[in-house]
Amino acid sequence: MVSDVKQDQAAKRSLLDGPLDFMERIGHTIMTFLSAIGRLSMFMLESVSHIFRPPFFPKLMVRQFMDIGYYSLPVVGMTALFTGMVLALQSYTGFARFNAESAIAGVVVLSVTRELAPVLAGLMVAGRVGASIAAEIGTMRVTEQIDALVTLSVNPFKYLIAPRVIAGTLTLPLLVLMGDVIGVYGGYIVSIHKLGFNPASYLTQTWNILEHMDVISGLVKAAAFGFIVSMMGCYHGFNSQRGAQGVGAATTNAVVSSSILILIFNYILTQVFFS
């Protein structure tokens, strides 16, 4: 009799185990996610607060401007050039079916300035700079160089984080501005030399359709993406776990998280500017 009751209870438990485990896992995932958001927000607040408080490190900032801006120019330039060229070719293939070839200049300039230059430059810089920031700061973390900074009375947020975030936020708009020009030029080259457009008419159409807001929205997006890339690189590097595997994971997480955030914020900013 007693054993029957025990068997019944065991059967009920096993029936409940599955859903309870599932709920526990969901709860755990939500809590982990929320705590990660909390940690990131605290890190961001602390970083931003140190950007505006002395001491400042202008030499380090100049070095970061070079690393993030100047050395990213070839990558961003090549990406913009070929994107503009492909855009002109693909648009021609589609628009020719509706006798709308004259719209190509407008499609190229609007696509490049509003979306493609900021998003692709952001993604390229996330791969090049975000990874490098995370690897550098992560290595400093695991080799105790960040602890050494603290023992030498230097705040790592001011010395390591602030210069990178400032440089990232200010240089990406400059890169995108150059990317705009190069991308439009790529479309121009293909349209003139391959598709047989009249140069003067192509340029007039480009100029007529372009509005200030198209460029400004792209630059604002670029500043946001520069902030995201540098902040994610710093955050994941700063919180890197021990060992080579920890630094590797920090680097991967920096690139993946900044790429996803760039795409999410691109949608949000597009909605804000153009809806």
Q: Which of 29, 32, 143, 241 binds another protein (CB under 8 A)?
A: 143
Residue 55 DSSP SS3: coil
Binding mask 215-234 for another protein (x = CB under 8 A): --------------------
Which contacts (CB < 8 Å, 24+ apart) does range 269-272 have?
269/217, 269/220, 269/221, 269/224, 270/114, 270/115, 270/217
d(CA 164, CA 56): 12
Q: Given the rule CB under 8 A, which of 72-80, 105-113, 138-146, 178-186 is the region that contacts another protein? A: 138-146
Residue 145: Cβ within 10 Å count: 14
Q: Is 34 helix (H, G, I), strand (E, B) or coil?
A: helix
Is residue 152 part of the contact set for another protein (CB under 8 A)? yes
Is position 155 an interface residue for another protein (rule: CB under 8 A)?
A: yes
Q: Judged by CB under 8 A, how many residues of this single chain contact another protein? A: 14
Name the segment binding another protein (CB under 8 A); options: 3-11, 124-132, 152-160, 247-255. Answer: 152-160
d(CA 122, CA 235): 17
- In the complex, least distance from residue 275 CB atom to another protein, rounded to whole angstroms: 43
Question: Please, which of residues 39-58 interact with another protein by CB under 8 A?
Answer: 57
Under the binding rule (CB under 8 A), the answer on residue 150 touching another protein is yes
**Judged by CB under 8 A, which stretch of 10-18, 77-85, 144-152, 186-194 contacts another protein?**
144-152
Q: Could you say whether residue 147 binds another protein (CB under 8 A)?
A: yes
Q: Report if residue 9 touches another protein, rule: CB under 8 A.
A: no
Span of 25-33, 97-105, 137-145, 213-221 interacting with another protein by CB under 8 A: 137-145
- Minimum distance between the CB of residue 74 and another protein, rounded to whole angstroms? 23
Q: Is 144 left (phi over 0), alpha (psi -120 to 50) or beta?
A: left
Residues 107-143 as b/e (b if ≥16 CB within 10 A, e otherwise) read: bbbbbbbbbbbbbbbbbbbbbbbbbbbbbbbbbbbbe
Work out whether 151 is an interface residue with another protein (CB under 8 A). Answer: yes
Q: Which of 159, 185, 248, 256 binds another protein (CB under 8 A)?
A: 159
DSSP H stretches of helix in the chain: 2-51, 58-64, 73-95, 104-110, 117-125, 131-142, 145-151, 156, 162-189, 199-209, 212-238, 243-274
Contact 88, 187 (CB under 8 A): yes
Q: How far is the CB of 255 from another protein (least distance, A)?
A: 22
242 scored as a contact of another protein (CB under 8 A): no
Binding site for another protein (CB under 8 A): 57, 140, 143-145, 147-148, 150-155, 159
